[in-house]
Amino acid sequence: MEIKSKKVLITGGSSGIGKALAKMLVEEGARVIITGRDQRKLERAATEIGAIAVHADVSTDEGVDKTYAAVESELNGLDLLVNNAGIGLRKPVDELEREDFQKVFDVNVFGAARMAAKAAVIFKNQKHGNIVNIGSTAGLKGYPTGSIYTASKFALRAMSQCWQAELRPYNVRVFQVNPSEVTTAFGQDSRRERPEEPNKLTSVEIAHSIISALKMDDRGFIPELSVWATNPFE
């Protein structure tokens, strides 16, 4: 697809991967809504990159409804949904609590599903559209203390496969993107961006990968894309 003039919604676009992707899409001529929970941070990011800020929490029905009201009033349509908003939580198996799964799944799984449900109505009607789900390499393989987060990303990956099967007949492309470690505010209690490290991935590499995949002619799509740092161990 051509990026210019496309109508884009990115959940969680106020920092990290979502913000880098929003910036690149705006630079290529797209009209982009970004969402987030921290209103001041969101508005600062939107002003900086030329996006439209919608203060909304993906984990609530009110947040999803508010976001799609803005899609209608600000963009008057939609070509691309990026389910990027995500949170993490590490806990050993002997400390797992139902509430922890609920908190993470409300954002990473149920939030993404509710966002996609509304996009699917628009996309099936117009017989075209794109959904990018930001998963993780944690959605490919588990690791110690990863039960909650990896389960949420495995679930998101499963939904991507289902949506691919359901929506291809409507010319809708669904991309599952799995970044490995990226130096962002992710997992930081302070919510501060981590400084870049020479051998680790930054949000820019992930944004590039997504835009490259999107630019393929609409007759084709890449179902799943994993992005690794070449040598993060130094």
Ligand X SMILES: NC(=O)c1ccc[n+]([C@@H]2O[C@H](COP(=O)([O-])OP(=O)(O)OC[C@H]3O[C@@H](n4cnc5c(N)ncnc54)[C@H](OP(=O)(O)O)[C@@H]3O)[C@@H](O)[C@H]2O)c1
Q: Minimal distance in Å, beta carbon 218 to ligand X?
A: 25
Is the CB of 38 or the CB of 72 nearer to ligand X? 38
Amino acid of residue 35:
T
CA distances for 64 relative to 60, 143, 155, 177, angstroms? 6, 32, 20, 22
User: How many whole angstroms separate alpha carbon 136 and alpha carbon 205?
Assistant: 14
User: CA nearest 130: which of 165, 161, 168, 73?
Assistant: 168
Is the CB of 127 or the CB of 158 nearer to ligand X? 158
Amino acid of residue 47:
T
Interface with ligand X, residue 15, by CB under 6 A: yes
User: How many whole angstroms separate alpha carbon 10 and alpha carbon 111?
Assistant: 13
Q: Minimal distance in Å, beta carbon 59 to ligand X?
A: 4
Find the binding residues for ligand X in span 39-78 (CB under 6 A): 41, 57-59
Interface with ligand X, residue 129, by CB under 6 A: no
Cα 80–chain centre separation: 11
Task: Find the part of the chain contacting ligand X (CB under 6 A) among 24-32, 79-87, 96-104, 118-126.
Answer: 79-87
Q: Minimal distance in Å, beta carbon 5 to ligand X?
A: 25
Cβ partners under 8 Å of residue 74, min gap 6 = 31, 33, 52, 54
Find the binding residues for ligand X in span 142-201 (CB under 6 A): 179, 181-182, 184-186, 191
Position among 64, 78, 85, 122 found at the interface with ligand X (CB under 6 A): 85
Query: What residue ranges bind ligand X (CB under 6 A)?
Result: 11-18, 35-38, 41, 57-59, 84-87, 107, 134, 136, 179, 181-182, 184-186, 191
